[in-house]
Structure 1
Amino acid sequence: MKKIGITGQNGFVGSHLYNTLGLSPDQFERIHFERDFFENDEKLDKFVAQCDVIVHLAAMNRHTDPEVIYTNNMELVKKLTASLEKTKSKAHVLFSSSSQEEKDNLYGKSKKEGRQLLAEWAEKSGGKFTGMVIPNVFGPFGKPNYNSFIATFCHKLTHGETPFIDQDGEVKLIYIGELVKEIITQIEEGKNRDLYEVPHTSVNKVSEVLGKLENYKKLYFENGEIPALETAFDLNLFNTFRCYFDIKNHYPVKFTQHTDPRGAFVEVIRLGIGGQCSFSTTVPGITRGNHFHTRKIERFAVIKGKALIQLRKIDTDEVLDFFLDGTEPAYVDMPIWYTHNIKNIGEEELYTIFWINEPFNPEDADTYFLEV
C-alpha cells in the first residue's frame, strides 16, 4: 500500500484526486494535508516523512499582481524541497505544471522553474520525480472565474447570468476524472519523468462549448430533459454542468400532471439518450440507497406515498433533505459525488420510478456505498 500526500488537497484537482484515492483503500493510504503546513516546518516535515508519494498541487493561479503569483509558487516549491532534504525523503514527487510554461508570463515561469527545482532534488537525493505538464482542466466543483472558463459558463447559466466570450478559439481540454486517472497511473508506474506532457482528451472551440451548455440549460435545467450525449466529452460536460445548480432550491421538481375522469398521466422523463428505468415499492420506515456515483446520471421520481430523499456531497457534512409526496408527483436528480438515499416516511407503500443512464454492470458498477 502506498502512502500518498497531496499538497493542495482541498483544491479543485486535489479534492478530486483525494476522493478518488479513497475509493481504493486497499491500494492507497491518504496522508492528510492542511494549508498551514507550509507555514510550520515541523508540520510539513512530519507530513513529508510519512509519504511514499507526494503530489504537489498547491499553487496560486490568479492574482492582480503576477509577481505575487511567481513569488508564492516558488516559495511553496522551495519549502517542499527543503523538507524533502531535511527528512532525507526518497518519495516519488509528482508536480502539476501547466501548458503556460512556454508562455511569457510569470505564472508559467513559476511552474517551469518549480518543476526544474524538484527534478534537481530527485537527481541529487535518489528520489523519483514526475513533472506533469497538464492541459486545461474542467469538471465538477471548479471555481468560476478561477479554475476554468467552463466553470464560469456553468455558474452563470445556472444563476441567472449571461456568459460572454472574451476570445474564441480552440482549447485543448482534459476532464478532471481523466486527469486523476492519469495521475494515479503515474503513481503506479513510479517512473522518473522530468517532463511529461499529459495528453489532452478533446479539442473544442470556446463558442461550441458554450453552445452545448446553453442547450443543456434549455433542455435540462429549465425542462428536465436529459439531452443527447454523443461523446465522452458530452457526458463529462453535462455532469459538470449539473453540479452548478443551487440544489437546495432547484429540487424537488414537480411534474406536470394531466388528469381526466380516468385518472392521471405524468411524463416521468424525456430522453435524448437511453438507459435503464426501474420501478420499486418500499414499505414504511425502509431506506434505500446510501451510495454515490462518479459518472452516472440518475433520477428518483416519487409517484405514490411520502418520501424523504437525502443528498450529501461526500467530502462535506451538509445533508440536503427533500420531502416528496405522490399527491404532487416530483423528482430529484442525483449529482455525481453526492451520496443519496430515499426513505418511506409515510404510512402506505411508497412507489418510486428510478431512471439511470446506463444499465447496471457488476464489473463496473460505479456505485460506492456510503451513509448519507
Structure 2
Amino acid sequence: MKILVTGAQGFVGRNLVSQLHNIQEGKARNYGISGESLTVYEYDLDSDPSELDIYCKQADFVFNLAGVNRPKDEAEFMKGNFGFASTLLDTLKKYNNTCPVMISSSIQAAQDNPYGESKRAGERLLFDYSKETGAKVLVYRFPNVFGKWCRPNYNSAVATFCNNIAHDIPIRVNDPSVVMNLVYIDDVVDELISALKGKEHYVEEYCTVPVVHTITLGDIAELIKSFKQMSDTLAVPDLSDAFTKKLYSTYLSYLPKDKFCYPLKMNVDDRGSFTEIIRTADRGQFSVNISKPGITKGQHWHHTKNEKFVVVSGHGLIQLRKIGTEEVVNFEVSGEKIEAVEMIPGYTHNIVNLSETEDLVTFMWCNECFDPEHPDTYFEKV
C-alpha cells in the first residue's frame, strides 16, 4: 500500500506520518496493517511540485491534510484550501487514479467567513470529483484538534494556553464561558488509520472522529494552570478523566527543557533518607526510602493506613507482627527479585538493611498522604 500524505509537516500530518512510520517499522501494534508493504509519500509546501505527479500516479490512498488556517491575505484561504485540492484531484485524474481520497475540512465550513467558504468549496470539489470518477471520498469536518506538536499562538487556544503557561507567559481568556468541542490528535490519527482500512465513522455524509470532548474555555485554562503547580505540590491530575489525561500530556509537550527536571525534598538523617515523589487526593502517596547499611526503619503500626514496600536495590529484611501476638512474619527482600510486601493494618512492621556496605532502596506506596494532625502511626518494636 502506497499512501500519500499532503500537509505532512503540519500538525495533523506530522502526527499521522509518525504513526504510519511506526507501523512501517513494526513499532505500532493492533492496527491490522502490515508495515512490510507500507510506503508513505510525504508532500508539503517545500516539496518539489514534480513529486506530486509521481505520488498521485502510484498512491493507493490519499490523506489531503494540506491547508491554510491563518494567512496574511484572506484570498490565500481559497488558494490554499480550494486551490491545492483542485490541483491534487486534477493530478489524480491525469493518471486515472481513483484511489480513496480523504480531505481535512472543519466545522467552520458551516460558517459564512472566508475560511469557512474555502473549506466548503474544497468539500464540494471532492464530492463532485467522486461523482465524476467514482472514487471513494472521505470528508472530515474536524472540530478543534489538540495535542503535541500543535503550533501555539496560531489557531489553537489549547496550544497557546499550554505553551504560554508552561513558559510563564500571561494568557487572555476573553470569554471563559465559551464552549469548546475538541478532538485529541491521537484519536484523530486512530480514526484516519481506521479510514485507511475502510472502517471510517460517519455522521450523515461527513466522516467524524468518534471521541469528542466538550468543555468551556475557562475550564481548559484553569486545568492547565493547575498542571503548572504540580511539580511543586507533587500532585498529579485526575487521570480517570479522559480529557484531563489528554490535556495533561499535551501540556507536558510544551514544557521548556529546563523544566523537564525538578528537585524533590529529601528528608535526610544519619539513617538514610525519605523522599516523596507523588501525592494524590484519592490514590495515596508514592515515596522512595533509602536505608544505610545495618539500619532498621519503621517499628510502628497503623489502624487504617496501609503501605506496599518494593525493594529495588540492596538486600533487606521486612518483618511484621500482629499487635497483641508474638509471631513475627519475615520476608527477605532484594533488588535481585522485585516483589511487593504488604504492610497490614494492625501489624507493627519494620525494614532492616542486611548489607554492611550497600544502601537499601525501597519504593513505597501508602494509601493516604501523611497528615501530621492525624498520622495514624504508633511506635512499637516488632
- 2:236 is aligned with 1:243: no
Between stretches 75-84 and 253-262, larger displacement belongs to: 253-262
- Seq. identity, %: 30
Give the 5 Å matches for 1:46-195: 46-168=54-176, 169-189=178-198, 195=206
Counterpart of 1:218 in structure 2 is 229
Between stretches 267-276 and 90-99, larger displacement belongs to: 267-276
Whole-Å separation in 2 of the counterparts to 1:4 and 1:111:
23
Instruction: Give the conservation status (yes or no) of the 8 Å contact 2:278–2:286.
Output: no
CA distances 1:338-365 after superposition (whole Å, capped 9, x unpaired): xxxxxxxxxx99979699xxxxxxxxxx
Instruction: Give the conservation status (yes or no) of the 8 Å contact 1:227–1:273.
Output: no
Extract unaligned runs of 5+ from structure 1.
280-302, 306-347, 356-372
How many angstroms does 1:250 deviate by?
1.8
Counterpart of 1:3 in structure 2 is 2
2:267 pairs with one of 254, 258, 265: 258
Could you tell me which amino acid in structure 2 is paired with residue 106 of structure 1? Answer: P
Between stretches 201-210 and 190-199, larger displacement belongs to: 190-199
Could you tell me which amino acid in structure 2 is paired with residue 219 of structure 1? Answer: M
- 2:59 is aligned with 1:27: no
Instruction: Give the conservation status (yes or no) of the 8 Å contact 2:187–2:209.
Output: no
Whole-Å separation in 2 of the counterparts to 1:139 and 1:276:
29
SS in 2 for 1:269: strand
How many angstroms does 1:24 deviate by?
2.6
Whole-Å separation in 1 of the counterparts to 2:364 and 2:40:
38
Instruction: Give the conservation status (yes or no) of the 8 Å contact 1:255–1:267.
Output: yes
CA distances 1:129-169 after superposition (whole Å, capped 9, x unpaired): 01111111111121111241011000111101121112331
Per the alignment, do residues 175 and 192 of structure 1 end up closer, same or farther by CA in structure 2, a change over 3 Å counting?
closer
Instruction: Give the conservation status (yes or no) of the 8 Å contact 1:129–1:192.
Output: no
SS in 2 for 1:244: coil
Whole-Å separation in 1 of the counterparts to 2:97 and 2:286:
53
Between stretches 122-131 and 83-92, larger displacement belongs to: 122-131
- TM-score, normalising length: structure 2: 0.67
Whole-Å separation in 2 of the counterparts to 1:14 and 1:88:
25
Could you tell me which amino acid in structure 2 is paired with residue 204 of structure 1? Answer: I
Whole-Å separation in 2 of the counterparts to 1:124 and 1:38:
29
Counterpart of 2:218 in structure 1 is 207
Per the alignment, do residues 148 and 351 of structure 1 end up closer, same or farther by CA in structure 2, a change over 3 Å counting?
farther
SS in 2 for 1:58: coil
Could you tell me which amino acid in structure 1 is paired with residue 186 of structure 2? Answer: G
Whole-Å separation in 2 of the counterparts to 1:56 and 1:122:
15
Could you tell me which amino acid in structure 2 is paired with residue 70 of structure 1? Answer: M
Could you tell me which amino acid in structure 1 is paired with residue 241 of structure 2? Answer: T
How many angstroms does 1:21 deviate by?
2.3
Extract unaligned runs of 5+ from structure 2.
25-32, 289-311, 315-357, 366-382
- TM-score, normalising length: structure 1: 0.69
SS in 1 for 2:97: coil
Could you tell me which amino acid in structure 2 is paired with residue 81 of structure 1? Answer: L
SS in 2 for 1:23: helix
Per the alignment, do residues 158 and 350 of structure 1 end up closer, same or farther by CA in structure 2, a change over 3 Å counting?
farther
SS in 1 for 2:67: coil
CA distances 1:75-110 after superposition (whole Å, capped 9, x unpaired): 211110111111111211001000001111111111
How many angstroms does 1:261 deviate by?
2.9
How many angstroms does 1:223 deviate by?
4.0
- CA RMSD between the two structures: 3.1
Whole-Å separation in 1 of the counterparts to 2:167 and 2:64:
33
How many angstroms does 1:39 deviate by?
5.6
Per the alignment, do residues 350 and 146 of structure 1 end up closer, same or farther by CA in structure 2, a change over 3 Å counting?
farther
Counterpart of 2:30 in structure 1 is none
How many angstroms does 1:197 deviate by?
4.3
Per the alignment, do residues 24 and 38 of structure 1 end up closer, same or farther by CA in structure 2, a change over 3 Å counting?
closer
Whole-Å separation in 2 of the counterparts to 1:350 and 1:87:
69
How many angstroms does 1:187 deviate by?
2.1
Could you tell me which amino acid in structure 1 is paired with residue 256 of structure 2? Answer: D
Whole-Å separation in 2 of the counterparts to 1:108 and 1:171:
17
